[in-house]
Amino acid sequence: MTTHSRTVFFISDGTGITAETFGNAVLAQFEMKPRHVRLPFTDTVDKAHQAVRQINHTAELEGVRPIVFTTLANMDVLEVIETGCKGMLLDMFGTFVRPLEIELAVKSNHRIGRFSDVSKSKEYNDRIAAIDFSLQHDDGQSNRDLEGADVILVGVSRSGKTPTSLYLAMQHGLKAANYPLIPEDFDRRQLPPALIPHRKKIFGLTIQPERLSEIRNERRPNSRYASLENCRHEVSEAEAMMRRAGIRWLSTTTKSIEEIATTILQELRPERLVY
Amino acid sequence: MTTHSRTVFFISDGTGITAETFGNAVLAQFEMKPRHVRLPFTDTVDKAHQAVRQINHTAELEGVRPIVFTTLANMDVLEVIETGCKGMLLDMFGTFVRPLEIELAVKSNHRIGRFSDVSKSKEYNDRIAAIDFSLQHDDGQSNRDLEGADVILVGVSRSGKTPTSLYLAMQHGLKAANYPLIPEDFDRRQLPPALIPHRKKIFGLTIQPERLSEIRNERRPNSRYASLENCRHEVSEAEAMMRRAGIRWLSTTTKSIEEIATTILQELRPERLVY
């Protein structure tokens, strides 16, 4: 058996994002690179039979049984797959929903997916408004309505402000503005004036000069902007400024957007999200 | 027992995003609005003891045991929580990792989180490059390097192009451009000329005129732009144009960004992602 020839199926009656997020986290515990097959919107018995045929065909071709992660709220669909599929079934809902029914002393509602009609959801509309806000306040483009921001990220160019702001807006519905720290600020030895009234909401991103120079060189090879000397200077000025202003900050050098965002949320503890 | 007084904990030695995504999907099967408490980066025995104290304190206050979702790769941390915690423990890794160890005939590596040092990861750098690309190609801002796009979304203003493009970039690393369809295009009865060579990568978003008018009225109340009459006209022209050009499209009226993105991925089946 070679672990490379394994196929992993993710079957859901919704988008399958939960199945895949969770399945990937479980599979990350093993040294293998399986082939991924996604079967979202498997919400009818017909589609369930189709999925079973595809899984069993793969099992025959590969000579090992595929791994099948399911998040199915529709019991008819689940039954077809449980009965017919020759894969190793990891039924994520069944495993946890049944014990919870007992604990909570209520029946589950078998609702499909996390999203019902989003046009009627205030939470969803707030999320879209947050994305709009973050785009309009990207890279210091606008000082308007900074009072409305949940968080304002600052840092030198290419320290990770833009992707982090968009992630905070998209995944957590936070209005995240971001502001570059530039040589004029360093000369003045002060935060950009528009930010001073909002100091409590500011969070700084910094980065190792070597890594910053690498990233900037991809954009503008051999420029002064990307030179290690200039990166060292900017980072040291930015860190000194944040220290003087009493701003919390973290280094993004080895961190993913998700890790940066989680750390910021823990530090800022916005009222809307309980920590 | 009132279901409102339940608290749900999400404990992880990484960001906790997997624990929360999965826990929320499971909890969506029940009619309850529990309080959420996130405990990310619980990666030492000390922090585990702190978590146990917090959970047990909550159990006492509320008089029911909290629900505790864990994604812990660190066995020492897990053991502290298993031993001391008075909550209902739903150990997501243990439940599925052990059967997989048997199936795959290999031991799991107990790796913490999905992200190692991202500065060394090509996949991660590609994702950041995709976000940059999508921002630069938002709302038809640039025709440069459209050959490099994985997908080009088209549709009338406020049909959902921008958040969907950013989502495809952020979550799937796809270079997603987007282009508005505007009155000039309708008069010419043709797609924007820059797009014509890239027809295969184009995907259309449409929306019910009533919903579109609602969304536009939030931005520019009582404008001609937001009027139902104008929205009806633009949507009907845009749909006619997409039909003539043979472009695939979907209606975003009741769909979340996640549902729109999943549908687009299924239709376009970009080579990088197996479907």
- Return mean pLDDT, chain A: 91
Across the interface, which of A24, A38, A100 has its CB nearest the CB of B114? A24
Q: What pLDDT shows up at residue B121?
A: 85
Across the interface, which of B22, B27, B119 has its CB nearest the CB of A22? B22
Residue B60 lies in a domain: yes
> Which residues in chain B are closer than 8 Å to A262, comparing Cβ atoms?
15-17, 40-41
In chain A, alpha helices (H): 17-27, 45-62, 75-84, 92-104, 122-136, 161-172, 183-188, 209-219, 228-245, 257-268
Average pLDDT over residues A29-51: 93
Judged by a CB distance cut-off of 8 A, whether residue A182 touches chain B is no
Q: What pLDDT shows up at residue A271?
A: 55
Q: What's the pLDDT band for B33 if we cut at 50, 70, 90?
A: confident
For residues A82 and A163, membership in a common domain is answered with no
- Please tell me the distance from the alpha carbon of residue B270 to that of residue B175, in angstroms, as a whole number: 11
Judged by a CB distance cut-off of 8 A, whether residue B105 touches chain A is yes
> Which residues in chain B are closer than 8 Å to A117, comparing Cβ atoms?
254
Q: What is the pLDDT of residues A50-82, one digit of tens each?
A: 999 999 999 999 999 999 999 999 999 999 999
Q: What pLDDT shows up at residue B5?
A: 74
For residues A23 and A136, membership in a common domain is answered with no
Q: What is the pLDDT of residues A172-229, one digit of tens each?
A: 999 999 999 999 999 999 999 999 999 999 999 999 999 999 999 999 999 999 999 9
Residue B185 in this model has a pLDDT that exceeds 60: yes
For residues B97 and B214, membership in a common domain is answered with no
Q: What's the pLDDT band for A116 if we cut at 50, 70, 90?
A: low
Q: What is the pLDDT of residues B194-212, one digit of tens each?
A: 999 999 999 999 999 999 9
Gap from A238 CA to chain B (nearest CA, Å): 21
How many Cβ pairs closer than 8 A exist between chain A and B? 205
Residue A120 in this model has a pLDDT that exceeds 80: no
Q: What pLDDT shows up at residue A275?
A: 45
Q: What is the pLDDT of residues B36-81, one digit of tens each?
A: 999 999 999 999 999 999 999 999 999 999 999 999 999 999 999 9
Residue B275 in this model has a pLDDT that exceeds 90: no
Judged by a CB distance cut-off of 8 A, whether residue A271 touches chain B is no
Instruction: Name the one residue in this structure whose structure tokens are 């008089």.
Output: B63
| Contact assessment for residue B237 and residue B190, using Cβ atoms and an 8 Å cutoff | no
For residues A232 and A147, membership in a common domain is answered with yes
Residue B44 lies in a domain: yes
| Residue B42, domain CATH | 3.40.50
For residues A175 and A264, membership in a common domain is answered with yes
pLDDT > 70: what percent of chain A? Answer: 95
Q: What's the pLDDT band for A242 if we cut at 50, 70, 90?
A: very high
Q: What is the pLDDT of residues B87-128, one digit of tens each?
A: 999 998 889 988 999 999 888 887 766 666 777 788 899 999
Q: CA distances (Å), B12 to each of B74, B114, B124, in order? A: 9, 11, 21
Instruction: Name the one residue in this structure whose structure tokens are 């991202």.
Output: B118
Q: What is the pLDDT of residues B136-156, one digit of tens each?
A: 999 999 988 999 999 999 999
Q: Which of A73, A104, A135 is the last residue of a domain?
A: A104
- Please tell me the distance from the alpha carbon of residue A111 to that of residue B198, in angstroms, as a whole number: 39
Range of A239's domain? Answer: 121-268
Judged by a CB distance cut-off of 8 A, whether residue A9 touches chain B is no
Residue B111 lies in a domain: no
DSSP character string of A194-244: GGGGGGGGEEEEE--HHHHHHHHHHHSTT-TTT-HHHHHHHHHHHHHHHHH
Indicate the range of A97-101, A120-124, A230-234, B237-241 predicted with least confidence.
A120-124
Residue A273 in this model has a pLDDT that exceeds 70: no
For residues A211 and A141, membership in a common domain is answered with yes
Q: Which of B104, B137, B169 is the last residue of a domain?
A: B104
For residues B134 and B200, membership in a common domain is answered with yes
For residues B89 and B157, membership in a common domain is answered with no
Judged by a CB distance cut-off of 8 A, whether residue A136 touches chain B is no
Residue B87 lies in a domain: yes
Tally of domains within chain B: 2
The one-character DSSP state at B219 is H
Q: What pLDDT shows up at residue B110?
A: 78
Average pLDDT over residues B231-242: 97
- Return mean pLDDT, chain B: 91
> Which residues in chain B are closer than 8 Å to A131, comparing Cβ atoms?
162-163, 166
Residue A21 lies in a domain: yes
For residues A90 and A225, membership in a common domain is answered with no
Residue A10 in this model has a pLDDT that exceeds 90: yes
For residues B252 and B178, membership in a common domain is answered with yes
Residue B110 lies in a domain: no
